[in-house]
Amino acid sequence: MKTVIKVGGMMCEHCAMHVKNGLKELKGVESVDVSLKDKKATLTSKVAISEKDIVKAIENAGYRFEGYGE
């Protein structure tokens, strides 16, 4: 499953790395790609990841969940 997430507050590659590492820790996640330019993270997982878990991972990394993207 592929999920595109809008992430607020990222300003540099270091920020993108924090988001990527936080999302990679979620159970079932196979890969995460973060685009600083587009302010989006693309998550590939074996199973559906709950919005609650996604929001928590992003907020724990210090950033904002701003919904889903394309």
Strand-pairing partners, residue 7, are: 65
Return the higher-pLDDT residue of 69 and 55. 55
pLDDT at 27: 95
User: pLDDT confidence of 63, banded at 50, 70, 90?
Assistant: very high
Percent of the chain at pLDDT exceeding 90: 97
Question: Mean pLDDT across the chain, nearest whole number?
Answer: 97
pLDDT at 70: 80
Provide mean pLDDT across the span 14-39: 97
Residue 67, sorted as left (phi over 0), alpha (psi -120 to 50) or beta, turns out to be: left
Provide mean pLDDT across the span 18-37: 97
CATH 3.30.70.100 given to domain 2-68: yes
